[in-house]
Amino acid sequence: MPVTPEQQAEIDELRSQSTQTLRATVPGMEAHLYKAHDVLDHGFVRVVDYMGDDSAICQAARVSYGRGTKAVSNDEGLIRYLMRHWHSTPFEMCEIKLHVKLPVFVARQWIRHRTANVNEYSARYSILDREFYIPAADHLNAQSKINNQGRGELLQGEEAARVLDILKTDSNRCYDNYEAMISDEGQDGLARELARMNLPANIYTQWYWKVDLHNLFHFLRLRADPHAQYEIRVYAEMICKIIADWVPAAYGAFEDYRLGGAQFSGKGMEVLRRMLKGEKVTRESSGMSKGEWRELMGSLDGT
């Protein structure tokens, strides 16, 4: 299950409390505080704390105190200007701390973003739960024949059933051996820090992850992209929904200029200029490699 009864009791207690503060708060974000949003079969994302709002971004950009006399529309225009021109520092004034439960192989992808503060559940001190990520049937794909990092056609029938059986059987067998090693029928048993090496990469771990908004946007630009691996993309998409309620102006600009936008190389811009003039441009006449041309055409086609 995504949240244990003990965790739910803690969440309920925290959500029942209310304190006064002089710092900026956001009603949409207050509604998210502590609440666990389910992701995958056993995972979740929940907001533990946050700092700042859209006004904090503008305040830092203007280096002023208080809200001043600027209208909300002016703030939104400033935020869009900052995003459009890649002025990142003002976005660093906002921070968020998340509690995330995720499969270990997803965590290994996630941790490559080295611009956050992370504290992970320790299998040296504690025993991991018997919870594994098992893909749903509609996410069980073969290897792509054109992309070494991607998925191809969906597995069907007996082949899909065979793979699912292997995943479930191997996961539970590894955990059975893990339990046996750490509690060897009254003997001392193997140290937990050694026994954990036998666990599969689809077992769930948890961590607290604190990051500023600028670096969070960089994470989301890569991981919420349609080409990102599904298992990390669903976490990014859930975080996007949360961020949209926290800093709506900043997220709107991010969605427009980063998620919905595209960046072109010098050669790519030259191809676009030639096309706009009515010239028929081919890959051979563009001076671009096959990969560059495919990506450029994909950006223009929205694929």
244 to 43, 178, 240, 288: CA distances (angstroms)? 21, 41, 6, 37
Q: How far is the first Cα of the chain from the last one, in angstroms, to the nearest whole number?
A: 36
46 to 12, 67, 107: CA distances (angstroms)? 13, 29, 16
Q: How many CB atoms lie within 10 A of CB 153?
A: 10
- Which residue from 16, 167, 146, 260 is spatially nearest to 251, judged by alpha carbons? 260
How deeply is 23 buried, as exposed, middle or buried, from its count of CB atoms within 10 A (0-12, 13-18, 19+)? exposed
Q: Which DSSP letter does residue 129 get?
A: P
DSSP result, 241-258: HHHHHHSHHHHHHHIIII
At residue 46, the 3 state secondary structure works out as strand
At residue 3, the 3 state secondary structure works out as coil
In contact, 74 and 108? CB cutoff 8 Å: no
Cα 104 to the chain's mean position, in Å?
14
Token readout for 256 is: 């427009």
Mutual orientation of helices 213-223 and 230-246 as an angle, nearest 10°? 140
Catalytic residue among 151, 223, 273, 274: 223
Distance CA 253, CA 246 (A): 13
Cα 217 to the chain's mean position, in Å?
10
Active site residue 223: yes
- Report the catalytic residues: 223
